[in-house]
């Protein structure tokens, strides 16, 4: 056998570049999709994972949230005591807890409902806030089906002030902007019957530019 031919450093064939670069973040939850630019590959050998320790990777908060509707199509929201505005039921996954298990546990703790995650609707990457008290995280929104209007109950009064069924048109009134955009994307994915989940950043869709053409990330 002849001498082995050296293999070049790996470059993704679909996008021949070292990676993507997000632009400076603007206002959270604004409607236009975010745009990314390709970072040109260096002529030097690509060093994978040089700045990330695989033995001690950076921590990420993982949230597991539920879209639960009643038979009229209203969305179940809960009203936390620790923040302004209402949110979807759910919460953070514990260490070594799978997100689909976390959403079942959190929803039952908050509302008394025993739900079954049917499919993943949205993955929302949330940036660290300016105060620094919330680290970078990923919120996963699951379709958890339909229940009777009378089914929920306030199971965690120490954490929640209450809950309500919100009509879609009134969601912006009851929720903060980033929460509203996240819920809107989840409802669109659910109602359009998409086979894939929607990837968003701070509630907004993201697109990349490849060969001067804009391409959304689905």
* Per-residue pLDDT reduced to its tens digit, 115-161: 999 999 999 998 876 555 556 799 999 999 999 999 999 998 899 99
**E strands, 12-169, in order:** 19-21, 34-39, 61-69, 75-80, 90-92, 119-126, 137-146, 160-166
Q: pLDDT confidence of 63, banded at 50, 70, 90?
A: very high
pLDDT 10s digits, 192-218 = 988 889 999 999 999 999 888 888 887
Instruction: Map out the domains of the chain as residue ranges.
Output: 61-204
Q: Under CATH, what is the fold of the domain 61-204?
A: Nucleoside Triphosphate Pyrophosphohydrolase (3.90.79)
175, pLDDT greater than 70: yes
Residues 54-86 as b/e (b if ≥16 CB within 10 A, e otherwise) read: eeeeeeeebbbbbbbbbeeebbbbbbeeeeeeb
Closest CA to 206 of 26, 51, 17, 66: 26
The 3-state DSSP class for residue 90 equals: strand
Please report the pLDDT score of residue 45 as a whole number.
45
**pLDDT tens, residue by residue, 162-173:** 999 999 999 999
Per-chain mean pLDDT for the chain: 80
pLDDT at 134: 59
- Residue 33: exposed, middle, or buried by beta-carbon count in 10 A (0-12, 13-18, 19+)? middle
First to last CA, the chain: 45
Query: Do 121 and 190 meet the contact criterion of CB atoms below 8 Å apart?
Result: yes
Give the pLDDT mean for 38-63. 61
Q: Answer yes or no: are the C-beta atoms of 68 and 76 closer than 8 Å.
A: yes
Which comes out higher in pLDDT, residue 26 or 104? 104
Query: Given pLDDT bands bounded at 50, 70 and 90, which one contains residue 11?
Result: very low
- Long-range contacts at 156-163 (CB < 8 A, ≥ 24 apart): 156/109, 156/110, 158/81, 159/80, 159/81, 159/82, 159/110, 160/78, 160/79, 160/80, 160/81, 160/110, 161/79, 161/80, 161/81, 162/78, 162/79, 163/76, 163/77, 163/78, 163/79, 163/89, 163/110, 163/111
pLDDT per residue as tens digits for the range 67-92: 999 999 999 999 999 888 999 999 99
Most confident among 13-17, 82-86, 99-103, 136-140 (mean pLDDT): 99-103
């Amino acid at each position: 056998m002849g001498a082995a031919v050296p293999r070049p450093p790996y470059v993704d064939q679909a996008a021949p570049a070292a990676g993507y670069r997000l632009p400076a973040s603007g206002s959270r939850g604004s409607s236009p999709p975010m745009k990314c630019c390709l970072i040109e590959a260096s002529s030097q050998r690509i060093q994978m994972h040089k700045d990330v320790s695989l033995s001690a990777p950076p921590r990420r908060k993982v949230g597991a949230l539920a879209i639960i509707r009643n038979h009229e199509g209203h969305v179940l929201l809960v009203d936390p005591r620790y923040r302004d505005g209402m949110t979807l039921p759910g919460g953070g996954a514990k260490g070594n807890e799978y997100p689909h298990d976390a959403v079942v546990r959190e929803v039952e703790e908050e509302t008394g409902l025993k739900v079954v995650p049917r499919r993943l609707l949205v993955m929302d990457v949330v940036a660290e806030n300016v105060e620094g008290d919330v680290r970078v995280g990923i919120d996963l929104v699951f379709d958890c089906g339909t229940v009777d209007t009378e089914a929920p109950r306030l199971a965690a009064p120490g954490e929640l002030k209450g809950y309500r069924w919100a009509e879609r048109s009134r969601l912006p009134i009851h929720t903060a902007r980033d929460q509203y955009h996240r819920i809107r994307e989840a409802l669109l994915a659910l109602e359009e019957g998409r086979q894939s989940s929607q990837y968003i950043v701070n509630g907004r869709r993201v697109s990349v530019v490849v060969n001067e053409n804009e391409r959304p990330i689905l």
